[in-house]
Amino acid sequence: MDLIVQGVIKAFQLIISFDPEVMGITWLSLKISGTATFISLFFGVSVGTAVALNNFPGKRLVISIINTGMGLPPVVVGLFVTIMIWRSGPLGFLEILYTPYAMIIAQAIIATPIVMGISLASIQNLPPNLRLQILSLGASRMQMIWVLIKESRLPLLAAVMAGFGGVISEVGASIMVGGNIKGYSRVLTTATVMETGKGNFDIAIALGIILLILAFLVNLLLTQIQQRQHPR
């Protein structure tokens, strides 16, 4: 119990003192996970909508793969990304291993199936006749898709929150592809693991609390946007 109290006190001290190292780690965490979520939003909504609106052979298999991807183990993603960008790997020429760029790629791969699966389900859950009604009013196919996306904006915002929550708290892939380098690729999750390993439980708890506060603030903002669209 004393450790938790000390951790809370330490977190408060680090926050109010604007500790440069902690602020840098927090900002990097937000930047990496935010960028990865944005990338996943683009690909996830696009592919999820395309799969939901089109019938083709093997559609159920594709949906099963997407749903399986929603539970991708981060450490497996980290392994394959590391192999791909390793010095002798297919993308080794990019020289981005142990950089924030590699962490963004890994986190985007983790978040994309989450956003994709929720987007697919939300579009499929719309009334089947809605598409025909929109087209009958003279809308083009692209306009019809845009209207459907707007109609699904509440679950799509939930998809963004789920995707962000999945990557801001991720640690396995971040350590593997980022290297946890101080002042360069160290984020809140990897710093927490490192401090725990060193026995600095008060600092580890403080970093964990800051991570929770960060995740809460981002999700609070997204929830406010979501509920403003659905005031009932």
Q: Which residues, other chains included, contact 103 with Cβ-Cβ below 8 Å and sequence gap of 6+? A: 32, 36, 173, 174, 177, 178, 185, 187
What confidence tier does 83 reach under pLDDT thresholds 50, 70, 90? very high
pLDDT at 229: 57
pLDDT at 230: 56
pLDDT at 147: 87
The residue behind tokens 């809460």 is 216
Q: Which residues, other chains included, contact 8 with Cβ-Cβ below 8 Å and sequence gap of 6+? A: 205, 206, 209
Q: CA triplet 71, 77, 78: central angle to 5 degrees?
A: 140
Give 145-204 pLDDT, tens digit per residue: 888 888 888 888 888 889 998 899 899 899 999 998 988 999 999 998 988 888 877 778
pLDDT at 225: 75
**Global confidence as pTM:** 0.89
Taking CA atoms, 6 is separated from 16, 23, 99, in Å, by: 15, 20, 33
DSSP letter at 86?
A: S
Domains of the chain: 2-229 (1.10.3720.10)
Q: How far apart are CA 103 and CA 113, in angstroms?
A: 17
Q: How far apart are CA 31 and CA 15, in angstroms?
A: 18
Q: What mean pLDDT is predicted for residues 90-103? A: 93
- Choose between 232 and 212: higher pLDDT: 212
pLDDT at 1: 66
- Choose between 48 and 11: higher pLDDT: 48
Looking at the chain, the whole-number percentage of residues with pLDDT higher than 90 is: 42
Looking at the chain, the whole-number percentage of residues with pLDDT higher than 70 is: 97
What confidence tier does 64 reach under pLDDT thresholds 50, 70, 90? very high
pLDDT at 76: 93
Average pLDDT for the chain: 87
DSSP letter at 99?
A: S
3-state secondary structure of 227: helix
CA dihedral 135, 140, 142, 148 (to 10 degrees): -20
Cα 227 to chain center, whole Å?
21
Give 20-56 pLDDT, tens digit per residue: 888 888 899 999 999 999 999 999 999 999 999 888 8
Q: CA triplet 97, 114, 40: central angle to 5 degrees?
A: 50
What confidence tier does 99 reach under pLDDT thresholds 50, 70, 90? very high
pLDDT at 137: 80
Give 120-137 pLDDT, tens digit per residue: 999 988 887 887 788 888
